[in-house]
Amino acid sequence: MTEPITSRAEITSARRIVVKVGSSSISGANTGQIAPLVDALAAAHARGCEVILVSSGAIATGMPYLKLDSRPTDLATQQAAAAVGQNLLIYRYQESMRRFGIVAAQVLLTAGDLENPTHRGNAQRAMERLLDLRILPIVNENDTVATHEIRFGDNDRLAALVSQLVHADLLVLLSDVDALYTRPPQLPGARRIDHVAFDEDLSGIEFGDIGAAGVGTGGAGTKVAAARLAASSGTAVLLASTSQVAEALDGADLGTWFAAAHPPVE
C-alpha cells in the first residue's frame, strides 16, 4: 500500500477497495439492492480500481429454502442454511456482474484461516492473483465449517481482516444506516459524526444496532471496532448506507470517515 488516502475526495484514485455489505441489505425484501450495488462496484472496477466485496447473506438467503421464518439459532441449521444460501448468493452476484463482463470469484474463509500463517499466505496469494486477473473476489465467512469457537462473529471484522490481508487503500462498510451517530439515529438529539480521527475517543457514543432485526448480526459497535482495526493498518474507512454506495465510491461527502493511522500501528 502506498500513502493512505486521507479524504473522501481521494476515493476515486484509490488503487484497491474492500466493500462490505450486510445480510439485511441484500437478502429478503432487499434482494433488489444487489443490482445497484454491482453497478457501483463495476464503475469502480472500470476505472481500474481493484475491488473486493465482502458479502454477508448466505444464511439469510438460504432461510426461505429451508422454510425458516427467522434466523436459526443452532449451529447445524445455520450451516445448512449457509450451504444452500451461499450458492444462490454467488449466482445472483455473478448474474448481475455479467452485464459488465466481470467474473466473480467465491472466497470462503474462517477465522482460523487468517490466524494460521500457511493458510493466510495461501489466501493472500490467491487474492492477489485473482486481482491481477481482474476477477472480483466475493468473500464470506465459511459458515458451513465454522464453529462457535472460531467464528469471526460478524463480517465487519472479516472485512477489516481482509483489508489488512490485501493492504487495501479503503474499506467501505455498508449497512442500513447512513453513518455513525452520537446515539441511535432514531432517537432525539442524534447527530451524524462526519470524521473520526485515528486516536479519537468515542467513549461518549451510544451504540445501537445496524441492520434488520433477526437477519444481520452486526451493529454500530462492531462497525466501529472493525473500522478501528482496519485504520490501525493504514486503511481508511468509510461507513455509509448500502443505498449510497455509488455516491460513496464516487467520493461524495457522506457517511462517517475513519482516518487511517500513518504510519500503520505495528
CATH of the domain at 203: 3.40.1160.10
Q: Please check the confidence at residue 144 and state whether its pLDDT lies above 80.
A: no
In a domain, 3, yes or no: no
Task: State the CB neighbour count (10 A cutoff) for residue 159.
Answer: 33
In a domain, 131, yes or no: yes
Integer Cα distance of 20 and 15 in angstroms: 17
Q: Please check the confidence at residue 4 and state whether its pLDDT lies above 90.
A: no
Q: Which helix (DSSP H) or strand (DSSP E) does residue 55 occupy?
A: strand 50-55
What is the domain extent for residue 148? 8-258
In a domain, 41, yes or no: yes
In a domain, 215, yes or no: yes
Q: What is the percent of the chain where pLDDT is above 70?
A: 91
What total of structural domains would you count in the chain?
1
Q: How crowded is the C-beta side of 69, counted as CA atoms within 13 Å? A: 0
Residue 132 among known ligand-binding residues: no
Average pLDDT, the chain: 90
Beta-strand pair 236-241/104-109: unpaired
Residue 176 among known ligand-binding residues: yes
Q: What is the pLDDT of residues 8-36, one digit of tens each?
A: 999 999 999 999 999 989 998 999 999 99
pLDDT of amino acid 2: 62
In a domain, 264, yes or no: no
Residue 67 among known ligand-binding residues: no
Q: Using an 8 Å Cβ cutoff, are 13 and 21 in contact? A: no
Residue 223 among known ligand-binding residues: no
214 confidence band (pLDDT: 50, 70, 90): very low
The pTM (predicted TM-score) of the whole model is 0.92
CA proximity to 21, closest of 164, 172, 163: 172
Q: Residue with C-alpha cell 472493525?
A: 226
Residue 143 among known ligand-binding residues: yes
In a domain, 266, yes or no: no
Q: Please check the confidence at residue 253 and state whether its pLDDT lies above 90.
A: yes
51 forms bridges with which residues in the sheet? 17
Integer Cα distance of 216 and 25 in angstroms: 9
Give the mean model confidence (pLDDT) for residues 151-157: 74
pLDDT of amino acid 210: 45
pLDDT of amino acid 266: 64
Residue 56 among known ligand-binding residues: yes
Integer Cα distance of 205 and 245 in angstroms: 25
211 confidence band (pLDDT: 50, 70, 90): very low
pLDDT of amino acid 215: 46
In a domain, 187, yes or no: yes
